[in-house]
Amino acid sequence: MGTYPADAVGRGSGVRARGWGWRHAGRSRWALRELDFSIEPGERILLLGASGAGKSTLLQALAGVLGGSDEGEPEGELLIDDRPVADSRGRAGLVLQDPDSQVILARVGDDVAFGCENLGVPRDEMWDRVRVALRDVGLDLPLDRSTTQLSGGQKQRLALAGVLAMRPGLLLLDEPTANLDPAGVTALLGAVGNVLENSGTTLVVVEHRVDVWLPLITRVIVLSPGGGLLADGPPDDVLLARGQELGEAGIWVPGCPPLFPPHRHSPGPLLLSTRELTIGRASTGTVTFDRSVPDAEINEGTATAITGSNGSGKTTLGLTLAGLLPPLDGDVVASPQLRSGAGERPIRWKSRELLTRIGTVFQEPEHQFLTSTVRDELAVGPRALKLAAGEVTERVDELLQRLRLAELAGANPFTLSGGEKRRLSVATVLATRPQVLVLDEPTFGQDSTTWAEMVALLDHLVTDGSSVVAMTHDQVFVDALADREVRL
């Protein structure tokens, strides 16, 4: 079924790179170098590479958003339909990873129309394009629906619709499913498949979960961190020939899953339990979200997974267990062993009393960073416990080594890569040696190397007698680590 008008069908764009490279302003290292490849109209490319290989930079260059000479320095040629990318604005459409930062306007229809407005599309045609784009991505919503009410998955499909309405010849997706739950991933994938079927658009997608995109793609290009390409060809050939190498570079290669540690957890005494708990969010007397939770028990030396779709209250439950959010009704009770002198309810504990009892790792590491160096960041907790200076240094040094952060000790936490930020946020909590560790989506959007490290680290903690509670929608993680699952 042709949902696009005739002039839009078969308009896939071709891409050609000749010795192309890019160096960000103020850096001595080239982010990308000596790239030579060409992409024919209608091809569907999965772009792979270790983190730091410049995948996102290449996508941004193709989208024409890398900026001018003040942002960096190009070399060679990068062409879309034989024209330089700088003159091809609107030929390529880019969807990014973070759903929240891509919503531009307050109403669904206006947001989808935004790109068309910028391209100077006449008003009558514009609203037709908006309706077609929304239908193609499967967003059956009124045009005046508020964009803030959409789920993460819906926001990603909205961003895709906004790009499609511009009728690009080249669709660029930068880890579009990294922040989505399984249902959101399926819906987005269906939408992209439908669009490719109808329009013949060329696709370049960056994603380290290869299996998700395998059904849609026709070719794999692997960037080499040193410049040039590591591999280029049909998916099966590349994954077979380079599977191990790609796996080591952090890419999720089907058939080469990261190794799981063996389950050797031995449950100890009870630490935390809930009684007729209702969790939720209330501000100035109005309840904006509430949900009752089956009674749960958390023992020493166990790993508990809190699972459920987006919006089911995983984060709220985790933060309630962690003594950060007050329950709407019922209780979270700490056992005498966990309490050790403090009160019965964690929410009543002082901030300092939480440190050795329950530690929390937030989903966004940036929310919990307080200082300007990695070393100081690790020392915050031990200092709040008023440990002796020698003891603080000892703990910090040990964690720097154990979590491979030693080389970054003087760096600003905000400048670290995604994986490094994640490791640091976990390390800051470990510094005070809490008996219970609560982690919100610890494997969200991580490459397979960081993922395997995280699982091994948490498994080690549990084997040593700590208790881990993780809010997650990563089923592989649940299988690898969890002894119990609380499903919301």
Partner 1 sequence: MRQPFTSVHPFDRVNPVAKLGAALLLAACLVLTIDWVSAGTAVLLELLAFPFLGIRRRVFWLRTLPVWIAAPLTGITILLYGKASGTVYWEWLAIRISDGSIELAIATALRVLAIGLPAVVLFITVDATDLADGLAQVWHLPSRFVLGALAAFRLVGLFRDDWRFLELARRARGVGDTGRLVQIPGLVFALLVLAIRRGSKLAVAMEARGFGGTTPRTWARQSRFGWREWMTVIVGVMIGMIAITVAVTTGHWNFIVG
User: What is the binding site for partner 1 (CB under 8 A)?
Assistant: 60, 63-65, 89-90, 93-94, 96, 98, 100-107, 109-110, 113-123, 126-127, 130, 144, 146, 148, 159, 162-163, 166, 319, 322, 324-325, 350-352, 354-355, 359-360, 362, 364, 366-370, 380-381, 384-385, 414, 428-429, 432
Smallest distance, Å, CB 368 to partner 1?
4
Burial class from Cβ neighbours inside 10 Å (0-12, 13-18, 19+) for residue 413 reads buried
Complex with partner 1: residue 90 or 233, whichever CB lies closer: 90
State the minimum distance, in angstroms, from the CB of residue 110 to partner 1: 6
239, 220 in Cβ contact below 8 A? yes
Residue 306 φ/ψ, nearest 5 degrees: -105, 115
What's the min distance (Å) between Cβ of 146 and partner 1? 6
Q: β-pairing, 202-206 with 170-174?
A: parallel
Measure Cα distances from 233 to 37, 43, 122 in Å: 11, 12, 41
Nearest distance, CB of residue 386 and partner 1, angstroms: 10
Closest approach of partner 1 to the CB of residue 130, in Å:
8
Pairing of strands 358-361, 303-307: unpaired
Amino acid at position 282, single letter:
A
DSSP 195-251: HHHHH--EEEEE-SBHHHHTTT-SEEEEE-TTSSEEEEE-HHHHHHHHHHHHHHTT-
Which residue, 287 or 370, has its beta carbon nearer to partner 1?
370
- Which burial class, exposed, middle or buried, applies to 215 when counting CB atoms under 10 A from its CB (0-12, 13-18, 19+)? exposed
Q: Who contacts 122 (Cβ-Cβ below 8 Å, separation ≥6)?
A: none
Nearest distance in Å: CB 32, partner 1: 17
Residue 158 DSSP code: H
Reading the block at residue 47, the tokens are: 């772009």
- Angstrom distance (rounded) from CA 343 to CA 429: 21
Q: How far is the CB of 367 from partner 1 (least distance, A)?
A: 4
Smallest distance from the beta carbon of 443 to partner 1, in angstroms?
19
Give the C-alpha separation, 377 to 367, whole Å: 13
- Report whether 137 contacts 3 (CB < 8 A): no
